[in-house]
Amino acid sequence: MKDNTWVKQIRFGNQLAFRQFYEAYASNAIRTASAITRNRESAKDAVQETFIRVFRQIDSYDTNLPFDPWFYRILTNECLRLMKKESSLVNISPSDLANNAALAEASFDHLADLYDVIQALDDGHRIPIILKYIKGFSEKEIADILGLNQNTVKSRLFKARKRLKVQLEPFEREANPGE
C-alpha cells in the first residue's frame, strides 16, 4: 500500500492499515533511531513514541507533501527528546549499520572504522550525515526534518565530510601501507 493510501485508511481508523504501515517502517526507523541516539533501547523507545505520535497526528499531515520527511522529522524529534532526557548514552554495534546495503559493500573493518568516526561527530553534524547518506534524504528534506535552513544543512554536511575525511586518513594509510 502506498503512503497516501495508508494515511487515508489510518485517518478512518483502519487498524490493519496502521499495522501494515508499522511493519513497513519499523525496522528502518529503528536503524535510523539507533544511529541517532547511539543506543538501541532508546531507539526502540523513540520509534514506539514516533508511531504513537504519527497515529495521533495523522490528521495534521499534508498529503500534498512527501510522507517520509514528515515521518522522519517526528522520529528525529523523538530521538533528540530522548537524548536530552537521558544522561548516559551507549553506542550501538557496527553490525547494526551493516544491514544497510549501501554500506555493506565495504569490508566490515572499514565499516566499523567509518561507524566509529561518524559516531564521534557532534549531533549537529552526525544527524545530517545519517539522514543524507544512510537514509538517502535530500538536503531540502533534511532541512525540513531538522527545522533548519537548507544552506545550514549543506554547510554542516560539507564540514562533516571534511572532518570524516581527516579522521579516516589514518585508517586509509593503515589499509594501504605501500602507498
pLDDT at 59 over 50: yes
Compute the mean pLDDT over every residue in the chain, rounded to the nearest whole number: 81
Tell me, what's the pLDDT at 101?
Answer: 45
Alpha-carbon 162 to chain mean position: 20
From 90-99, 109-118, 131-140, the region with the lowest mean pLDDT? 90-99
pLDDT at 94 over 70: no
pLDDT tens per residue, range 21-53: 999 999 999 999 998 888 888 899 999 999 999
**Residue 77, exposed/middle/buried by CB under 10 A (0-12, 13-18, 19+)?**
middle
Rounded (10°) CA dihedral 34, 39, 45, 49: -50
CA distance 111 to 11: 41
pLDDT tens per residue, range 97-123: 445 444 444 444 556 667 777 888 888
pLDDT at 66 over 70: yes
CA distance 155 to 149: 10
What residue ranges define each of the domains in the chain, with the CATH number in brackets?
1-92 (1.10.1740.10), 94-179 (1.10.10.10)
pTM, two decimal places: 0.64
What residue has cell string 550501538? 92
